[in-house]
């Protein structure tokens, strides 16, 4: 009997949540994994939120939400307190997002970088960061004197391996002797570890450093050591003005504004978005004049060609480390292959940690 | 000139009352901070301390959050009462979760009523073993348990990192650093449908009862308390110090291990790198706020759990930075220590004449 009583009580609480939704103004909630001032991943999502706000839509955010047991409560509280659309901006929110979505069918959910869309009110979105890596590879291949590129990697997930491969392929195209050295730091954000990794790579002869982590420590280490570097996630030029050649910028703003307006106007539909240079979700920071006018011109042309689809980051022939063919000559890798990428291409040193 | 004197007669009632003074001062201090930040302090405090628990769901989340804090703090009270400074509960929690999670993965996709008890037991034993390391090093090699237990936190966290990235990572999980979701047979049963509060809360309550019994009704409890008050007396009375140190660390580690296993078989449901937002460290505040008393710890764990929930609610409704939660936890500890100081010591301001200084 008590069990039933609680069941009614709980549904009453959830219904209360719904009624708030339909009455109150349209509101969008954001859940961030880091602080808004990380100058990388979360910073850019926050910029996206600012754009939604500037479009005249009310927003709320919760920062530094651990990807553990707390995430579900925060997402649920946003849903309960009248938010109509909720962006959960880190991979670790995948299961909690889907769980809360089940209980709030009238609230729309957008989960970044995940692959689970268990309910019709959950969309996923990510960016084709690897297109930016292709440009970085082209620049790095031309700029390196030691033919060694240092790469600080976070976790051996397909997204990170895709970036390493795209960069290496592009660098090989302009400089066949190129080698990619990788240090795995197993963190997304740890300035101390990232700086150590950068120094280790520089000590091993790398004169171009890039990273798939969020802090500004690698570019600052590169600036001090006098080697080239690239900004990641946001324009990091001001942290290492001499060293940074360009930055890969995650520009979520257009997508966030578009989806928020769609949800407000009732045209929101479930989708899996993977946008790149073409749509502007991946953008490039200003090119360093130290690259020389010719190289800048080349890279700008390549950027245009990647955006128009004339050039694809993964165009055959592509071989793995053992020399087996991955993509045949004249073919390009399809999205399915890119999404599950789990082997290095030829020219990358070392093994993927298992 | 200021003179500090020890008070000889500290009333017991006042001793248990000062935590409330600390909480009230924290709330006042919080109000002032909110005011300086430009928020209406009354409204901010309402969103902080009342809104999070104004419905059944919120209250259940409070209990969910308080459960691991209470469990760990109960364990720590044994150590702290006997002058053993176990600072590494976070590591014991992590190692307990690793061992318990390992058993849960071993029984992946199997049915059986015995699986969950085995997982829980494994978690407790894991925490216990991990706490024995600083205890054995302290008793036989005279090492400092503060340093050893603290450094072991990093060891266990790195071990967890290694396991979820490597050998235990989900084979279908695209190399993301997490294990499979545990099967239902190794998940804590939920108490109410739709809420996350789970059977782990009974473990915490059992720990409270048991610790009260041990501390106040057994010879071991007597030894612990005497050792805490005066090590010399304990030695003179012929208590076996080494055994007691091992036992209190084992109890403490087992409780932290249970907290870890409760989190992974409860709300999380798998192993990954973020199984605890530093519960093991926050529980130190809980233990002291609860005066190392089992029932005081229940109360203290609820108060500290509320500072977590309040920080989230305050950010959602007023966009107050979430880090104020940590400020509140810090203020509670600060005011508690400060009022304790004034409780145990008299501060006299003396007006001395020049010639009196010569003495």
Is the pLDDT at A145 greater than 80, yes or no?
yes
Q: Which CATH class is domain A129-249+282-339?
A: alpha beta
Distance from CA of B203 to the nearest CA of A (A): 18
Cα–Cα distance measured from residue A279 to residue A251, given in angstroms and rounded to the nearest whole number: 10
The number of folded domains in chain B is 1
Whether B268 is in a domain gets the answer: yes
Q: What residues of A are in the B interface, CB distance below 8 Å?
A: 3, 6-7, 9-11, 13-14, 16, 29, 60-70, 72-74, 76-78, 80-81, 91-92, 95, 103, 115, 155-158, 186, 340, 342, 352-354
* Half-sphere exposure of residue A135: CA atoms within 13 angstroms, side-chain side: 34
Whether B38 is in a domain gets the answer: no
DSSP assignment, residue B198? Answer: B
- pLDDT per position as a tens digit, B109-155: 999 999 999 999 999 999 999 999 999 999 999 999 999 999 999 99
- What DSSP string describes B100-144? HHHHHHHTTT---TTHHHHHHHHHHHHHHHHHHHHHHHHHHH---
Domain range summary for chain A, segments of one domain joined by +: 2-127, 129-249+282-339
- pLDDT per position as a tens digit, B196-241: 999 999 999 999 999 999 999 999 999 998 888 887 888 888 887 8
| Residue in chain A lying closest to B314 (CA) | A62
Mutate to test the interface with A, among B167, B176, B265 (most CBs of A within 10 A): B176
What pLDDT sits at residue A20? 43
Q: What is the CATH number of the domain that holds B189?
A: 1.10.3470
Is the pLDDT at B322 greater than 60, yes or no?
yes
**Mutual angle of helices B219-229 and B200-217, in 10-degree steps:** 80
At residue A101, φ and ψ (nearest 5 deg) are: -60, -35
Whether B328 is in a domain gets the answer: no
CATH number of A2-127: 3.40.50.2300
- List CB contacts of A337: < 8 A, sequence separation 6 or more: A314, A327
Mean pLDDT of chain A: 91
Q: Do strands A108-112 and A282-284 pair parallel, antiparallel, or not at all (unpaired)? A: unpaired
ipTM reported for the complex, 2 dp = 0.85
Same-fold call for A2-127 versus A129-249+282-339: yes
Whether B183 is in a domain gets the answer: yes
Identify which has the larger pLDDT, B356 or A233: A233
Domain that holds residue B263: 68-320
Whether B61 is in a domain gets the answer: no
Mutate to test the interface with A, among B60, B259, B316 (most CBs of A within 10 A): B316
Q: Report pTM.
A: 0.87
Of B174, B274, B308, nearest to A158 by CB-CB distance is B174
Cα–Cα distance measured from residue A171 to residue A319, given in angstroms and rounded to the nearest whole number: 15
Question: B96 in contact with A at a CB cutoff of 8 Å?
Answer: no
Whether B248 is in a domain gets the answer: yes
Is the pLDDT at B31 greater than 90, yes or no?
yes
Residue B354's pLDDT band (boundaries 50, 70, 90)?
low
Mean pLDDT of chain B: 91
């Amino acid at each position: 009997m008590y069990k039933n009583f609680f069941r009614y009580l709980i549904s009453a609480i959830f219904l209360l949540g719904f009624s708030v939704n339909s009455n109150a103004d349209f509101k969008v909630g954001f859940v961030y994994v880091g602080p808004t001032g990380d100058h990388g991943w979360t910073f850019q999502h926050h910029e996206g939120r600012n754009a939604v706000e500037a479009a005249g839509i009310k927003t709320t955010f919760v920062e530094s939400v651990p990807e553990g047991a707390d995430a579900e409560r925060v997402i649920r509280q946003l849903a309960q307190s009248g938010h109509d659309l909720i962006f959960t901006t880190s991979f670790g929110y995948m299961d909690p997002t889907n769980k809360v979505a089940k209980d709030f069918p009238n609230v729309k959910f957008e989960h970044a970088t995940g692959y689970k869309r268990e309910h019709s009110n959950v969309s996923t979105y990510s960016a084709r960061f690897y297109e930016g890596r292709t440009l970085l590879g082209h620049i790095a291949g031309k700029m390196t004197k030691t033919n060694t590129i240092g790469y600080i990697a976070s976790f051996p997930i397909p997204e990170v391996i895709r970036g390493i491969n795209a960069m290496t392929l592009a660098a090989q195209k302009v400089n066949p002797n190129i080698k990619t050295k990788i240090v795995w730091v197993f963190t997304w954000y740890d300035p101390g570890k990232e700086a150590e990794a950068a120094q280790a790579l520089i000590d091993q002869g790398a004169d171009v450093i890039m990273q798939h982590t969020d802090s500004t420590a690698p570019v600052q280490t590169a600036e001090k050591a006098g080697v080239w570097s690239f900004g990641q996630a946001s324009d990091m030029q001001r942290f290492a003005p001499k060293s940074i050649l360009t930055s890969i910028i995650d520009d979520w703003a257009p997508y966030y504004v578009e989806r928020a307006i769609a949800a407000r106007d009732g045209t929101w539909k479930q989708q899996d978005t993977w946008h790149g240079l073409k749509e502007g979700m991946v953008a490039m920071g200003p090119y360093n004049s130290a690259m020389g006018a010719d190289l800048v011109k080349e890279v700008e042309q390549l950027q245009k060609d990647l955006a128009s689809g004339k050039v694809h980051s993964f165009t055959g022939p592509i071989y793995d480390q053992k020399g087996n063919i991955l993509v045949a000559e004249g073919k390009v890798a399809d999205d399915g292959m890119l999404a599950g990428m789990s082997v290095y291409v030829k020219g990358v040193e070392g093994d993927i940690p298992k | 000139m200021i003179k500090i004197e020890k008070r000889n007669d500290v009333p017991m009632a006042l001793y248990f009352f000062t935590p409330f003074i600390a909480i009230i001062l924290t709330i006042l201090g919080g109000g002032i901070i909110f005011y300086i930040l430009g928020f209406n302090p009354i409204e901010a405090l309402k969103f902080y301390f009342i809104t999070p628990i104004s419905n059944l769901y919120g209250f259940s989340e409070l209990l969910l959050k308080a459960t691991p804090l209470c469990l760990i703090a109960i364990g720590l009270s044994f150590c702290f009462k006997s002058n053993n400074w176990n600072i590494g509960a976070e590591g014991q929690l992590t190692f307990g979760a690793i061992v318990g999670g390992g058993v849960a993965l071993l029984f992946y996709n199997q049915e059986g009523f015995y699986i969950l008890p085995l997982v829980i037991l494994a978690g407790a034993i894991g925490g216990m073993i991990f706490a024995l390391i600083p205890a054995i090093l302290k008793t036989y090699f005279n090492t400092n348990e503060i340093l050893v237990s603290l450094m072991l936190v990093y060891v266990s966290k790195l071990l967890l990192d290694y396991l979820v990235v490597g050998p235990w990572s989900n084979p279908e999980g695209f190399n993301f650093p997490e294990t499979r979701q545990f099967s239902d047979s190794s998940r804590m049963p939920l108490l109410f449908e739709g809420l996350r509060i789970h059977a782990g809360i009974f473990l915490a309550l059992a720990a409270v009862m048991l610790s009260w019994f041990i501390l106040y009704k057994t010879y071991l409890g007597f030894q612990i308390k005497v050792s805490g008050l005066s090590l010399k007396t304990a030695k003179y009375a012929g208590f076996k110090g080494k055994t007691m140190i091992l036992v209190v660390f084992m109890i403490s580690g087992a409780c932290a291990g249970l907290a870890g296993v409760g989190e992974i078989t409860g709300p999380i449901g798998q192993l990954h790198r973020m199984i605890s937002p530093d519960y093991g460290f926050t529980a130190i505040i809980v233990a002291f706020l609860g005066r190392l008393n089992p029932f005081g710890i229940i109360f203290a764990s609820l108060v500290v759990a509320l500072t977590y929930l309040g920080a989230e609610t305050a950010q959602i409704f007023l966009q107050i930075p979430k880090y104020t939660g940590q400020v509140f936890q810090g203020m509670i500890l600060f005011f508690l220590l400060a009022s304790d100081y004034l409780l145990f010591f008299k501060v006299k301001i003396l007006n001395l004449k020049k010639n009196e200084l010569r003495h």
